[in-house]
Amino acid sequence: MKKILILIISIMISFNSYSNEVIFHEKFYPKEKAKSPVVIALHSSGGYFTVHKAVKPFLNAGFAVYTPDFFSKHNLTKKNRFQTWTKYRKPIEKELIEIVNLIKKDTKIDNKNIFAVGYSNGGYWASFLAAKNYVNAGASYYGVWKWSRTFNGYPAKYFTEKSNPVLALIGMKDTIQKYKRNSDEISFIKKRSSKFKVHFYKNAGHSWDCKRCRKDGYSKTTTEDSFKKTIDFFNNNMK
């Protein structure tokens, strides 16, 4: 009985220690810069590796980059991705806030200038961080605004007139996050927040900046333009 009790206590300690850890993330810094503004880059439903493409361009633009993995801890994959915004919504909110708090303590970071960019699934979370004022501004690339079966009104519900700026970059030929399905949510957010900005790409689909993605196709022109718009948007919201 005593051995069983010790085992249970050990498991509880182990569980609590794990649950209090900041989720896995990597961090990258631009060369020869004492304190840098930072971008939290948030991956798509394809998994953590999909965000790696974002690192070098932001470093070259003078931003540090943090890349949190918000899937692994909850055993999330492309197959059960809807649970990201339902079952695990509140835990992921908390975990991303912890990343922001960690960044604020990073001596290499200008902690007055924290931004977020998200791709598809990550676009939802970039919107959350900016709408709830955890970052200066957020950019959502072909982001999630609505989904089938278990839709609960988020991320639109995060937005208010007090929200920080968000730039939504939307491809009109997106076959995953179809604008026709999402237009009511986009309109709803515009009414809730005057700092919510939208730019439409007439000929772009989903994952336009992903060379290896087969769905909807890669567009060099859209990739370059969307990145420029993102950098300009972040620079305009520097403190």
pLDDT (tens digit per residue) in 171-222:
999 999 999 999 999 999 999 999 999 999 999 999 999 988 878 989 999 9
Angstrom distances, CA of residue 64 to CA of 34, 95, 113: 11, 20, 11
In whole angstroms, what is the distance from residue 15 CA to residue 9 CA?
Answer: 10
CA dihedral 151, 153, 117, 99 (to 10 degrees): -90
What are the residue boundaries of the structural domains of the chain, listed by start? 23-236
- pLDDT the model gives residue 20: 56
Is the distance from CB of 206 to CB of 119 less than 8 angstroms?
Answer: no
Q: 67, 200, 201: which is closest to 125 by C-alpha?
A: 67
The answer, yes or no, to whether residue 227 has pLDDT greater than 60, is yes
pLDDT tens figures, 167-178: 999 999 999 999
Quote the CA–CA distance of 203 and 59 in Å, as a whole number: 28
Task: Return the CATH number of 23-236, one of 3.40.50.620, 3.40.50.1820, 3.40.50.720, 3.40.50.300.
Answer: 3.40.50.1820
- In the chain, % of residues over pLDDT 70: 92
Amino acid at 175: T
Please give the pLDDT value at position 38.
98
Two tokens at 215? 């769905």
pLDDT band at 49 (very low <50, low <70, confident <90, very high): very high
Which string of DSSP letters, residue by residue, matches 26-73? Answer: EEE--TT-SSEEEEEEE--TT-GGGGGGGHHHHHHTT-EEEEE--SGG
pTM of the model: 0.91
pLDDT at site 19: 42
> For position 207, what pLDDT does the model report?
96
Buried/exposed code over 144-165 (b: 16+ C-beta within 10 A; e: otherwise): bbbbeeeeeebbbebbeeebbb
Q: Report the percent of the chain where pLDDT is more than 90.
A: 87
Q: In this predicted model, what pLDDT tens digit does every residue of 64-95 receive, in sequence order? A: 999 999 999 999 999 999 999 999 999 999 99
Nearest to 115 by CA among 141, 95, 139: 139
The confidence band for 10, taking pLDDT boundaries of 50, 70 and 90, is very low
